[in-house]
Structure 1
Amino acid sequence: MQTGYYSAAAGMVTQFNRLDTIANNLANVNTAGFKEDNLVVGDFMRIFKEARDELPNANHSEDGAKFLNRAMTKAPQIVDSYTNHSVGNMQATGNSMDFALSTEGLFFAVKTPQGVRVTRDGSFTTDDEGRLVTKQGYEVLSQEYLNDGKGSIIFNVEDSILEVDKNGQLYANLPGSVSQGPGSKLLIVQPENINLLKKDGDNLYKYENINQIKNIEESGAVRQGFVEKSNVNAVKMMTQLIETNRLVGMYQKAMSSQMDDMNNQAITKIAAKG
């Protein structure tokens, strides 16, 4: 069995998975609130660093070297994935329905047919009934949701002036008056463990136990008239894209050498001896 061929094939599959992740990041470089995804590839150096102090042989002698040599034949593979939740740049839009969160780990809560989801994308609008919704039409929740399970944020036709403070409190003009009064308050939440969030499409995240999401009363993070841009670094992604394409070519060449050159040499030598 040609171990090198199968290791190269597995390495190529790993790079294909990296290409998918990089392509998705680049496709969302202009998506508001999008967070960059990354993969962790298991290789020999990582295995060595984890195992060198826990080898099965205390003297780290010839037997220990054999242990590490066996580890070298392990094919590179995706061992973990994670999302970079750092805050993206704030872009001023001047739209009173656009909101951004300036603190990492905070999210807006929205209601979807599949249940409550969270998002960093604060590019909101209103539907035909005057409810505050996302661009996809999902209802943006207010803090009243915690009490009555509804939590709709509805604007009247007369609500021509809308202001939101840094904690998400909405203020609209009072009917027949030039002054403003408090209305609903945006539901700003923070997961207990941000690593448990799973992307669920439409720039939304799913949290398995929604009851473990904490309501942040005084977040001080809401910025009206701004949107948070994607935190994807396009230059870094393009560099990774070039690197990954080169690795695919290298693995392909290694596979070709294993199957063509080495086999031809073996066949030639066997034929010559015969």
Structure 2
Amino acid sequence: MQNGYYQATGAMVTQFNRLDVITNNLANVNTIGYKRDDVVIADFERIFKETRDILPLENNTKDAAKFLNRTIDRVPHINEEYTDFSEGGMKLTNNPLDLSLGKKDLFFLVETPNGVRMTKNGAFNLDNDGYLVSKEGYRVLPSNYEAQPAQTRGIVVPQGSELSIDKDGAIYVNNENIARLYIAQPREIRDVKKEGDNLFILSNLNDIRDNANSGSVAQGYTQISNVNPVVEMVSLIEANRLVDMYQKVMTSHMTDLNQEATSKLASIKA
């Protein structure tokens, strides 16, 4: 068994998965409020040991098998995929419906068909009924949304009125306070997961609190993606070169080494 071949194959698959993450980041470089993803690469042996320490798992593998499979155990794997919530730059738009949050652990709340979700995209609009909505048409939720009837949840802004929003998310129409945005702050940001459409989900809504004094809302600004295209392009080139290298290793094992082994075996005299 050519352990080196399997090791190179596993490493190539890992780089393919890494390429998927990188290309997705590059595709969203201009998406408002997008947070880049990244991966942690580790070998199978390390992942197994960490998992065994947590569960724990008994190691019933025979010593001979441990020695034989040692190189296979060192095959790289994606140990963890995570989201980088660091802040992106702020872009001035002068649109009173554009909002930006200045801290990485703060989100807006929106009502979706699948329930309450969080978003960093503060490029809002008004729908035909006057509700403040996201780009996808989801209603933006106020601080008292739980006390509102489910059918009418949201923030209604009269058409043609003068709208202003302060740094804590309080909404004023013609200098009269009509509502305050729910500024969601998860208890642990590592538990926040992406769901698609630039939305984030937390399995337990009780782990979210309303930060009434965040001081982080900026009106007339949007937060651009935190993807650095130069860094992502360098990573893309690196991953492509690694794939090419692993391909050459696999070819050497399957062609050159096998051919050499076959010719030598054929030359052995009984």
TM-score between the two structures when normalised by the length of structure 1: 0.87
**Aligned equivalent of 1:204:** 199
Letter in 2 for 1:84: D
**Distance change >3 Å, CA 149–CA 119, structure 1 → 2:** farther
Contact 2:100-2:122 at 8 Å conserved across structures? yes
Contact 2:43-2:73 at 8 Å conserved across structures? no
Give 1:9-20 correspondences, 5 Å limit: 9-20=9-20
Letter in 1 for 2:169: G
**Aligned equivalent of 1:177:** none
- Partner deviation per Cα, 1:71-123 (whole Å, 9 max, x = no partner): 67521000111111011101100111000001120000000000000011100
Q: What secondary structure sits across from 2:214 in the alignment?
A: coil
Q: What secondary structure sits across from 1:200 in the alignment?
A: strand
Give 1:44-83 correspondences, 5 Å limit: 47=46, 70=70, 73-83=73-83
- Partner deviation per Cα, 1:136-183 (whole Å, 9 max, x = no partner): 001100012132354410112242x1100000001111xxxxxx2111
- Partner deviation per Cα, 1:206-234 (whole Å, 9 max, x = no partner): 11001210111111000000000100111
Say yes or no: does 1:249 pair with 2:249: no
Letter in 1 for 2:172: Y
**Aligned equivalent of 2:122:** 122
**Aligned equivalent of 1:111:** 111
**Aligned equivalent of 1:184:** 179
- The correspondence for 2:159, drawn from 157, 160, 170, is 157
Say yes or no: does 1:171 pair with 2:172: yes
CA distance in 1, matches of 2:9, 2:195: 31
1:205 deviates by 0.3
Q: What secondary structure sits across from 1:12 in the alignment?
A: helix
CA distance in 2, matches of 1:203, 1:219: 22
Q: What secondary structure sits across from 2:179 in the alignment?
A: strand
Give 5+ residue unaligned stretches, structure 1: 52-62, 174-179
CA distance in 2, matches of 1:25, 1:171: 36
CA distance in 2, matches of 1:266, 1:71: 21
TM-score between the two structures when normalised by the length of structure 2: 0.88
Contact 2:107-2:118 at 8 Å conserved across structures? yes
Contact 1:90-1:227 at 8 Å conserved across structures? yes
Give 5+ residue unaligned stretches, structure 2: 51-62
Contact 1:3-1:73 at 8 Å conserved across structures? no
Q: What secondary structure sits across from 1:25 in the alignment?
A: helix
- Partner deviation per Cα, 1:230-265 (whole Å, 9 max, x = no partner): 001111100000000000001100000000000000
CA distance in 2, matches of 1:266, 1:235: 45
User: Number of residue pairs matched?
Assistant: 252
